[in-house]
Amino acid sequence: MSSDSSVSPLTDPTPRRLQGGRVGSLELALIFLVVLSVLIGVIVIAVGAGPEGSLFEVLEFVALFWIWVAAGVCAWWRRPTNGIGGLLLVGAVSILIVSTGYLGVPGLVPLYMVFGSSTLAVAVHLLLAFPSGRLRGRFSTFIVVYVYIIAIGFDTARALAQDTAAFGPLSFAQTWLGLSAMIMAAIVMARRLRAADPVHRRVLLPLFAYGIIAVVGLPNVPNILFPLGAPAVLIISLQILLMAGLPIAFLLGVLLGSFTRTTPLEALSEWLAIRGASRPAVAQALATTLGDSTLRVVYWDAPQNRFVDEDGDEVVVDSSDSERGWLQVVVDEELVGAVAYDARIIAEPTPVRRAAEVLAIALDRERLTTQLLSSNEALTLSRVRIVEAADRERFRIARDLHDGLQMQLVLLAIEAQTIANSAPDSPMGGDIEGLRHGIDTAAADLRHLVHNVLPAALLEQGLVAATEDLVDRLAVPATLEAELDESTIATSTAHTAYFIVAEALANTVKHARASNVRVAMSQDDETMTLAIEDDGIGGARIGAGIGLRGLADRVEALKGTIDIQSSPGRGTTVRVELPCAS
């Protein structure tokens, strides 16, 4: 990782180096392909302008060729690892071959006759391969191979059987076999539409609908219009219009169907040199590189033997979902995480694996961070349990002292008084009376001790009543403002709030030299706020004594906050925020 201090931490969840990137070899190759296509188109037009050519048809086919090339280049640039762009360019080449039949060059006629129907096969291939660009399932693969055989194989056979008796039967068989291929393709597309989620269905439905109309209409337009006496130029123009809509439909599917642009792995590697990348940014970087907005990164928690997300929450891996792909990431033979991606968009795991290998070290770092978060969460819960256990122990001690030792002292005092009353003239009467007063004093001290451990008012009447009693007994004039719904406040929170007020007021009496104290307790949504203010000499701080330090630890254990403002000569304000539910 780079240690250049001039690099600032990332604030945008999508790294800048992954938002655009530099012009690389792919972009240069696509630019060259566009220039080459323009030159080829110009050459074809020039040849078609000869006396033997059909210039109007040639112009139509060249325009169609350029449309397919433009769509293919855009799709390939947007998603280099996706096969849709390549298939569109293959379709463009097939259209260019078809245009040779109108150039008036005898040597090119056999080429036109053999590949005249290849564009239809490419269209079916595109439909069944969308959106990943790769065929999924044996039935889809069979249909595509079947269509190519019908298109190119039967065109070749018809070319060889030209002007023979076999030409008619071959044409008839090609038509009906092609129709059966269209029916099978329609079945596959209908199944995909039914299984797709609503987002993908909105993209696939118009594309598949237009694709079926186009591939069925292209071979049947002549069969319908020729018997009606339509001119050949009209029939060819209608076919070209249908073919022109196909690449546009596929390109719109790529651009508008939540299939975001991918970026080169080099940009991802450069981004890793930037310091300060957060865990969501790592996942976003991988999603941007692969062009899958649904991509998710999870981390392996070895001690718990589970996958967790960036927040440390457990993630259940569903490997049975055929629409989602899972790829494990390993560093030095140790599992560090996994990547979940949309298998409908990314058909092969190779690009995911390559990108994950680049990010493997970062993923391992984030895995350790996630484990630390999980450990911190467990530690926090443990501290809360300790606080609650301490409260329970306080309650037990206070109850035992009140119900046990205090009652024994009261009984002893009564017995001593009874003995003194039974022998008023006894020389021991004075000693017995002194013993009774001593027992009364011990019982009073014990009651004070029990109150300090856990006030009875806090247990019996609640936080506000106990705090009010505390304020009333204060040696300094004090006021209490309380707006609480105690039914929504956890016991540990109420006890913590009381002890904070008690400690703050005790410090005020002992050290602040204050003439007035104000205690405010309020509640907002899921947070309770305490404020203890005095007009004393100030100078208080958490580290000055064990009382406030212990309360601060207790507040932190409950995921609360404590803040002390105590400038010399300006009094002290202790402000605490506690979650209502522990």
Q: Are strands 478-483 and 517-524 parallel, antiparallel or unpaired?
A: parallel
* First CA to last CA distance, the chain: 40
Contacts of 283 (CB under 8 A, 6+ apart): 295, 296, 297, 310
Q: Which tokens belong to 544?
A: 């000055």
Task: State yes or no: pLDDT of 384 exceeds 90.
Answer: no
The per-residue pLDDT for range 250-276, each reduced to its tens digit, is 777 766 654 554 544 444 444 444 444
Of the candidate ranges 4-8, 70-74, 379-383, the one whose mean pLDDT is the lowest: 4-8
Distances (CA, A) of 177 to 34, 139, 180, 182, 209: 36, 16, 5, 9, 21
Task: Place 433 in a pLDDT band, splitting at 50, 70 and 90.
Answer: low
- Give the domain 460-579 fold: Heat Shock Protein 90 (3.30.565)
The pLDDT confidence band at residue 22, using thresholds 50, 70 and 90, is very low
Range in 83-92, 280-289, 456-465 the model is least confident about: 280-289
Q: Is 579 helix (H, G, I), strand (E, B) or coil?
A: strand
Structure confidence at residue 431 (pLDDT)? 66
23-256: which CATH number, 1.20.1070, 1.10.287, 3.10.450, 3.30.2310? Answer: 1.20.1070
Answer yes or no: is pLDDT of 42 > 90. yes
> What is the mean pLDDT of the segment spanning 124-146?
87
Residue (of 278, 279, 272, 273) closest to 5 by Cα position = 273
pLDDT of residue 386: 58
Q: Tell me the average pLDDT across 282-299.
A: 71
Query: Residue 19: CB partners within 8 Å, gap ≥ 6?
Result: 12, 288
Query: 132-141, 198-207, 355-364, 483-492: lowest mean pLDDT where?
Result: 355-364
**Tens-place pLDDT, residues 454-504:** 566 676 678 888 888 888 888 888 899 988 888 888 877 887 888 788 888
Considering only residues 510 and 152, tell me which one the structure prediction assigns the higher pLDDT. Answer: 152
* pLDDT score, position 152: 93
The pLDDT value given to residue 297: 78
Under 8 Å CB-to-CB from 244, ≥6 apart: which residues? 63, 64, 67
Look at residue 67 in the predicted model and tell me its pLDDT: 92
Q: How many CB atoms lie within 10 A of CB 138?
A: 8
Tokens, residue 88: 């569109």
Using 50, 70 and 90 to split pLDDT, how confident is the model at 23?
Answer: very low
Which whole number is the average pLDDT over 191-203? 77
Q: What is the pLDDT of residues 409-428, one digit of tens each?
A: 666 767 766 766 666 666 66
Question: What pLDDT, on the 0 to 100 scale, is given for residue 156?
Answer: 93
Measured distance CA(546)–CA(451) in Å, rounded: 20
| Per-residue confidence band for 43, with pLDDT thresholds at 50, 70 and 90 | very high
For 386, other C-beta atoms within 10 Å of its C-beta total 12
Instruction: Write the pLDDT tens digit of every residue in 512-536.
Output: 888 889 999 998 878 889 999 998 8
Residues 151-187 as b or e (16 or more Cβ within 10 Å = b): bbebbebbbebeeeeeeeebeeebeebbeebbebbbe
Sequence-ordered strand ranges (E) for 535-571: 561-565
* Sequence-separated (6 or more) residues with CB below 8 Å from residue 329: 335, 336, 337, 338, 339, 356, 357, 359, 360, 363
Query: Could you give the percent of the chain with pLDDT greater than 90?
Result: 11
**pTM to 2 decimals?**
0.51
- Predicted confidence (pLDDT) at residue 318 exceeds the cutoff of 80: no
Pair 310, 366: CB distance under 8 Å = yes
Residues recorded for the chain: 582
Query: How many degrees, rounded to 5, is the angle at CA 129 between CA 32 and CA 263?
Result: 45
Is the pLDDT score of 16 beyond 50?
no
pLDDT at 555: 78
At 376 the pLDDT is 56
CA angle 478, 481, 487 (to 5 degrees): 130
Residue 5 has pLDDT above 80, yes or no: no
Average pLDDT, rounded, for the chain: 75
Residue by residue, DSSP assigns 72-113 as HHHHHHH-TT-SHHHHHHHHHHHHHHHHGGGTT-GGGHHHHH
Residue 281 has what pLDDT? 59
Would the CATH topology of 23-256 be identical to that of 460-579? no
Return the biggest CA–CA distance within the chain: 153
Winning range, highest mean pLDDT, from 170-184, 304-318, 481-495: 170-184
* pLDDT on residue 94: 92
Q: Percent of the chain, pLDDT > 70? A: 67
Residue 415: other Cβ atoms inside 10 A:
14
What is the residue extent of each domain of the chain?
Answer: 23-256, 265-376, 460-579
* Alpha-carbon distances, residue 102 vs 41, 75, 167, 382, 409 (angstroms): 14, 29, 22, 82, 119
